[in-house]
Structure 1
């Protein structure tokens, strides 16, 4: 072998070795991209208070009216017990009769109905005319002193026949003098602004009757009808 061929062979071996070493000594690794973890979210508690359930108390039931016990009826600016302004006179008469209550009788001379029962002072309720059946006024008492065996119905504030003007004024601070007739004065109050509750009181010069309530009236005016015949 000639010297030139020997050098060529050695060069080929050396170069091949380097190439082989380069191919086997290093490896190419594909980098793995890490999967990002889920982003944590901080939960802030709501500062808005939750709605609190509230319970509305049920209204107090209205006590039933005992039609057979007129002394227990309550007087107000809207009526007396079952006898209410705006109600039917005929229906009221029938209801009282059906319940065994006091007898209500229609008057011939005036468009009124009277109740004359030993358990209660005289009661009138009237309409505007004979052709009308709508109750427009109610009156308890006929102006004379209360008989001992006829207990008076009262208002919710406890004012009845034989109560005094001073007691009525204490119970109704808005009570005002609304008129007079012969020996009596009228003192009235309109709690709802429409219908009047009127007390008939003996004038101060009337001796034993002075300042004492003798009738209580209900209607749309500050004084009761003078003869209750409208």
Structure 2
């Protein structure tokens, strides 16, 4: 004996047969009894219990099913796990030495604490108005003696025919020169006076890489592998060579004295070939 409840067409036929039987029995009486309502209710409940409520002659409406929860597809990107390492990962470009752009603190009275950068040397800075650096420079330097005529009239305030040259002199032959153009400092030079060619040892201001007056050509090349020679031969009455490094549109130029292979002058300006005789 099959104990499984009817489904599909069998269920439909059973329901129709039961309904017809009920109606046939109720027809002679011409009235609806309470029993008929009960039977119909039983039929409806049987249909609900058998077919889940959706098949029983449409007696009970079906509520819409909730949308399924979204699930990650096979193509979803996997979550990324960051594992800390002992050192950060950085790019590894070929190092290119460049001049120091920001000078550290210094003492105006001690030029050995000054830094040579693309901005100038110590308190002498490119782009400053003529005279704006005077107060700081006076801490360790004095203006070069003026050149006067027989009547005592000052011909050249800084002892130089080039009126755009502002020369400052310190102890031991130290010299700082500012060359102005249109009232603005466009070139800064440091050198030693009273020396034959160049100092025998490094002294005075240095670049961030540690080279300056008295540095050897080998030290200069080691500090700046991209160093470019910009002048060689008899120029301005000297056989010195000049070597330059660039920083943007500015240059730091090292003049190397002929015969001793040491730096005798450092110039910061907008040209890789600065003038040799700045007083002419």
What TM-score does the superposition give when structure 1 sets the normalisation length? 0.67
CA drift of 1:104 comes to: 4.7
Alignment pair present for 1:168 and 2:220:
yes
Contact kept, 8 Å, 2:114 with 2:204, in 1: the verdict is no
Alignment pair present for 1:124 and 2:177:
yes
| Count of residues in Structure 1 that have an aligned counterpart in Structure 2 | 194
65 and 20 in structure 1: CA distance in 2 versus 1, 3 angstrom threshold: same
Instruction: Measure, in 2, the Cα distance between the counterparts of 1:211 and 1:101.
Output: 29
Deviation per residue, 1:135-165 (Å, 9 max, x gap): 11111114624388x9311111111111111
20 and 72 in structure 1: CA distance in 2 versus 1, 3 angstrom threshold: same
CA drift of 1:172 comes to: 1.7
Structure 2, unaligned stretches of length 5 or more?
Answer: 1-25, 45-58, 83-101, 145-156
Classify the secondary structure of the residue corresponding to 1:127. strand
26 and 221 in structure 1: CA distance in 2 versus 1, 3 angstrom threshold: closer
62 and 77 in structure 1: CA distance in 2 versus 1, 3 angstrom threshold: closer
Classify the secondary structure of the residue corresponding to 2:171. coil
Instruction: Name 2:279's counterpart in structure 1.
Output: 229
Which structure is richer in relative contact order (CA contacts within 8 A, separation 6 or more)?
1
Instruction: Name 2:68's counterpart in structure 1.
Output: 41
Contact kept, 8 Å, 1:70 with 1:120, in 2: the verdict is no
CA drift of 1:120 comes to: 7.8
Alignment of 1:101-120 (within 5 A): 101-104=140-143, 107-109=158-160, 110=162, 111-118=164-171
Alignment pair present for 1:152 and 2:161:
no
Structure 1, unaligned stretches of length 5 or more?
Answer: 1-16, 53-60
Instruction: Name 1:19's counterpart in structure 2.
Output: 28
Contact kept, 8 Å, 2:178 with 2:185, in 1: the verdict is yes
What TM-score does the superposition give when structure 2 sets the normalisation length? 0.56
CA drift of 1:219 comes to: 2.0
Instruction: Measure, in 2, the Cα distance between the counterparts of 1:38 and 1:199.
Output: 84
CA drift of 1:89 comes to: 2.5
Instruction: Measure, in 2, the Cα distance between the counterparts of 1:147 and 1:163.
Output: 9
Decide which of 212, 223, 226 is 2:262's aligned counterpart.
212
CA drift of 1:183 comes to: 4.4
Instruction: Name 1:72's counterpart in structure 2.
Output: 113
CA drift of 1:21 comes to: 8.4
Decide which of 233, 244, 250 is 1:195's aligned counterpart.
250
Deviation per residue, 1:50-105 (Å, 9 max, x gap): 9x9xxxxxxxx8633433332111113431122122222211113445xx454455
| RMSD value, Cα | 3.6
151 and 169 in structure 1: CA distance in 2 versus 1, 3 angstrom threshold: closer
